[in-house]
Copies of this chain bind each other. A is one copy, B any other.
Amino acid sequence: MVATSTVERLALDSLPLESGASLSAELAYVTHGTLSPTRDNVVLVPSYYTGTHDSYRPWIGAGGVLDTNRWFVVVVNMLGNGVSTSPSNGGAFPLVTVRDQVTAQRLLLDHLGVERLRLVLGWSMGAMQAYEWAVSHPDRVDALLPICGAARCSPHNHVFLEGVRAALLADPAFAGGAYDAPPVAGLRAFGRVYAGWAYSREFFADGTYRQLGYESVEAVLEDWAQDHAARDANDLLAMMDTWQSGDVGRGRDGHEHALASITARTIVMPSTTDLYFTVADSAVEASLVPGAELRPIVSDLGHLAGRPGVRAAETEAVAAAVRDLLGGAWDR
């Protein structure tokens, strides 16, 4: 298979969902690099909240964090993100859980003729999907790298998201999702609430935002307001529903039992200043995965520490973890 970076689409006919409903959908994905003849060089990267296949580009390329000279990198857009089937492009949209996303992605691997993943990794909601992969299909995942994520949406994380959701719903222009014009005031409020959670105390106190090109604290808030004003409200809420659904332990005798079943070589990579995917939660989860290493990204960027392309030091930390997980020293 030849390298490509155009968006491809896999039709999923009546994808069975956890809820009992089903969804006919298209799963949009991009591949980079070349699939080896033995199909043993595949790295899977699920998208994150408000992210697309394109968001991981800073990590992908010849000699990059995900080196396309060696690896066949499959970047998949989660259902609901506006590229794959979503409220904004597909009409009625049921709850799609993190586990449902993995079901869809498994069908994609089957379509590609890929049995095993050398590595599944992702940032934030991408990490939630990566965990779900390692629990759902231990026989198909060699290595796992969750970055600023978790195996389940913690209660506090749920509460933070409920606040963000409430800000959007306070705008009657949302109209229960049946808006004609976008609920701009609600979307802007959504962004301004979110901004307080995305970074850290230090990011604001120490003026770190200037390193990211913001002139002021208000410029950060305004950027988040504008960014979200341009997004589709129903897509934002669909992805939020997915996020809040995340729990590898559901129906599997709970969180501890599910994490204990992971066989992938694992490095758990929280940011030391993440306010919702906290290092404390990651430490617990790393302790429950057999042989896992907890390797925090020491950063003042909060949750954003792990987002691709934000800052070189954090990218290098991720690159080192990828090297360790894909390196020749380890083989199975």
Contacts and interface: CB of A to CB of B under 8 A. Distances in A.
Nearest to A225: B166
A288 interface: no
A166 B193 contact: yes
Interface string A151-190: 0001110111011101111111000000000000110110
Interface string A131-147: 00000000000000000
A201 B158 CA distance: 10
Contacts of A200: 156
A2 interface: no
Contacts of A156: 196, 199-201, 203-205
Count this chain's copies in the assembly: 2
Contacts of A192: 162-163, 166
Contacts of A11: none
A81 interface: no
Contacts of A294: none
A112 interface: no
A60 to B, nearest CB: 32
Contact of A275 (B203, B204, B275): B275
A164 B280 CA distance: 26
B166 A278 contact: no
A121 interface: no
A160 B205 CA distance: 13
Contacts of A168: 170
A170 B185 contact: yes
Interface of A: 154-156, 158-160, 162-164, 166-172, 185-186, 188-189, 192-197, 199-201, 203-205, 217, 220-221, 225, 275, 278, 280-281
A201 B154 CA distance: 8
Nearest to A158: B217
A167 B281 CA distance: 28
Given A193-B193, A204-B154, A221 B170 contact: no
Contacts of A167: 163, 166-167, 170, 189, 193
A289 B196 CA distance: 29
9 contacts: A156-B203, A162-B196, A167-B170, A170-B186, A172-B172, A193-B193, A196-B197, A201-B281, A275-B275
Nearest to A184: B170
Contact of A170 (B170, B196, B201, B220): B170
B171 A220 contact: no
A99 to B, nearest CB: 21
A158 B195 CA distance: 11
Contact of A205 (B154, B194, B204): B154
Nearest to A204: B155
A201 B163 contact: no
A280 B201 contact: yes
Contacts of A170: 167-168, 170-171, 185-186, 188-189
Contacts of A186: 170
Contacts of A172: 171-172, 185
A200 B278 CA distance: 11
